[in-house]
Copies of this chain bind each other. A is one copy, B any other.
Amino acid sequence: MNLSRRDFLVSGSAALAGAAPLLAGMTPLSAQTPAPVQPEAGALGYTPVITPNGSTMPWVMKDGVKEFHIIAEPVKREFAPGMVVNCWGYNGQTPGPTIEAVEGDHVRFYVTNKLPEATTIHWHGVLLPNGMDGVSGLTQPHIQPGETFVYEFTLRQHGTQMYHPHSDEMVQMAMGMVGFFIIHPKEPAGPKIDRDFAIFLGEWAIAPGTSTPNPSVMTDFNIFTFNSRAFPGTAPLVVRQNDRTRIRIGNLSMDNHPMHLHGHRFFITGTDGGPIPPSAQIPHATVDVPPGTAADLEFIADNPGDWAFHCHKSHHTMNAMNHDIPNMIGVQQDKVADKIGQMFPMYMAMGNNGMGDMTEMQMSGPPNTLPMMGGDGPYGSLEMGGMFTVLKVRENLASYDDPGWYKAPAGTSARKVDAPPQT
C-alpha cells in the first residue's frame, strides 16, 4: 500500500461525487436513495465493498493518515417509493457510509454532532486503545450537540467491523445510526473475492400513517429493512456466473435474523471477531445473524438465475403489518366487511382465504405506509416486503447494472399440466 502514503482524495468514484458536499459540512435531508456505489478495484489494492442503496465513505490522506469526517445528524430516508422516514444517521445516510480501510492503516475520524442530544461513536469489534473505544461516561465525555471529537488509531486486524453510538444507544441505534467498518487484509489469504456486498439489517416500529420510528418498542416491530430500504425498494445483488461472492451482514437490531439464499450453498467465513479458519467453516442455506454480530457469507455464484435472498422469519418479509388482527381464515365475512366499510372507509378485513389476495386489492392505505406485501416479478406479485432482495446471477454480463429478469432456458421451469397423473 505505497498508495496510502500519498496525500490525495480517493474513494469509489460514485461515492466521491455524491458525498463530496458532506465534507463541507452540509446536511442533506434528502429523500433520495444514493445510487449504489460500485467502485472498481485498481489502485486501491482490494475489491471495494458494495453497499446496496448506500455508499462508501470518502477520505483524505494527510501525512500518511487516512482521515474521515463523520457527521451524526437527522436524516430523511425513503424506505421504498411511498414512504419517507425521519431517521438519525451519518453524513445524510442510514446506514452511515461504509468505512473501508486496510490492516496497518493509521486512521483518523472527526466526528461532528448535529443531533439534538449527545452522542459518541463506538468502533464495534475494532482492537484499539481504551480511550478510543467511544463508550460515553466510561472512556470519554459525551459529544454534545455542536461539538467535534477526534478519534485515531492504527488498524491491527482485518474483517467486518461496525460503528454505532454508545450514548443513549437504544434510541440512537433504533433511529438508524449504524454503519460498516470494513478492514481489508494487508496480504489476503485464500482466493480473490470478485463481488463483496455489505447489508445492514434493520427493524423499525413506525405506526401506519406516521413517519418517526418508536425506539421504546422492544419486540413488536412492523418494518424490516436491508440498508434501511424495504422490498420492493431494495437494490438487487448483481453478479457474473462463477463470481466468488461475499455478502457481509451486520445486525444492530433487537432480533436474530436468519438469512436465506436460494440456489446456492454458502460458508460462513468471518464474524465481527475476524476470519474463521477453514477447518471451522460450516455450510448453510440459511444462517442466523444475531444482534450485535456480523457474518460473512461466501460462495461461488455458479447457478444462473434470479435467486431470492431474505430473512426467513416470515413476518420480516412483510411491510407495515399489524401483528395482532382478528383471524378471519375460514370465516365468511363479505357482508360484514361491507357494513364496516361504510363506517370506516379504510377498513380492510383479513382475507377469509388467506392474505394472498391483498396484493391485488386497489385500496388506499394510510399516508406514508407501504403495502403489506408486493413487488412485481415477471410472473406476477412476489407477495413479499421488508428484508427481501434478489441475487441476479448471469452467464454473460456486460456490466453490473441491473440486467432485468432472468429467462430460464426451455424445459427448466415448473409448468402447468392439465391434470395430475393417474396412479
Chain A residues 160 to 216 lying within 8 A of chain B, measured CB to CB, are 161, 166-175, 205, 207, 210, 212-216
Q: A379 and B139: CB pair below 8 A? A: yes
Could you tell me the distance in whole angstroms from the C-beta of A359 to the nearest C-beta in chain B? 9
Interface presence of A97 (CB below 8 A): no
Q: List 10 A-B contacts (CB under 8 A).
A: A133-B307, A133-B308, A139-B379, A139-B414, A149-B415, A157-B265, A254-B313, A256-B290, A273-B283, A286-B290
Residues of B within 8 A of A174 (CB): 314
Give this chain's copy count: 3
* 3 shortest interchain CB distances as A-B pairs: A292-B312, A130-B305, A131-B413
Q: A283 and B307: CB pair below 8 A? A: no
Partner of A291, one of B136, B161, B266, B313: B313
Q: 1/0 per residue A200-240: CB within 8 Å of B?
A: 00000101001011111111100000000000000000000
Partner of A314, one of B254, B288, B390: B254
- Bound CA–CA A69/B168 (angstroms): 45
Q: B280 and A135: CB pair below 8 A? A: no
Q: B314 and A351: CB pair below 8 A? A: no
Residues of B within 8 A of A280 (CB): 279-282
Q: A130 and B304: CB pair below 8 A? A: yes
Interface presence of A142 (CB below 8 A): yes
Interface centre among A67, A171, A318, A356 (most CB of B within 10 A): A356
Tell which of A38-46, A370-378, A396-404 binds the partner.
A370-378
Chain A residues 237 to 296 lying within 8 A of chain B, measured CB to CB, are 252, 254, 256, 258, 260, 262-266, 271-277, 279-288, 290-293
Chain A residues 108 to 146 lying within 8 A of chain B, measured CB to CB, are 110, 112, 115-118, 120, 122, 124-125, 127-143
Partner of A138, one of B212, B308, B409: B308
Q: A414 and B149: CB pair below 8 A? A: yes
Interface presence of A2 (CB below 8 A): no
Chain A residues 346 to 386 lying within 8 A of chain B, measured CB to CB, are 350-357, 375-384
Residues of B within 8 A of A306 (CB): 130, 138-139
Interface centre among A161, A171, A252, A258 (most CB of B within 10 A): A171
**A130 with B218: in contact, given A290-B258, A327-B213 (CB under 8 Å)?**
no
Interface presence of A32 (CB below 8 A): no
Q: B86 and A327: CB pair below 8 A? A: no
Interface presence of A342 (CB below 8 A): no
Interface presence of A341 (CB below 8 A): no
Q: B327 and A379: CB pair below 8 A? A: no
Q: A110 and B417: CB pair below 8 A? A: yes
Interface presence of A322 (CB below 8 A): yes
Q: B315 and A110: CB pair below 8 A? A: no
Q: A132 and B413: CB pair below 8 A? A: yes
Interface presence of A340 (CB below 8 A): no
Partner of A262, one of B133, B356, B423: B133
Q: A421 and B110: CB pair below 8 A? A: yes
Q: B327 and A212: CB pair below 8 A? A: yes
Chain A residues 312 to 354 lying within 8 A of chain B, measured CB to CB, are 312-315, 317-318, 321-327, 329-330, 350-354
- Bound CA–CA A375/B131 (angstroms): 18
Could you tell me the distance in whole angstroms from the C-beta of A167 to the nearest C-beta in chain B? 6
- Bound CA–CA A423/B120 (angstroms): 22
Residues of B within 8 A of A308 (CB): 133, 135, 138, 166
Could you tell me the distance in whole angstroms from the C-beta of A296 to the nearest C-beta in chain B? 12
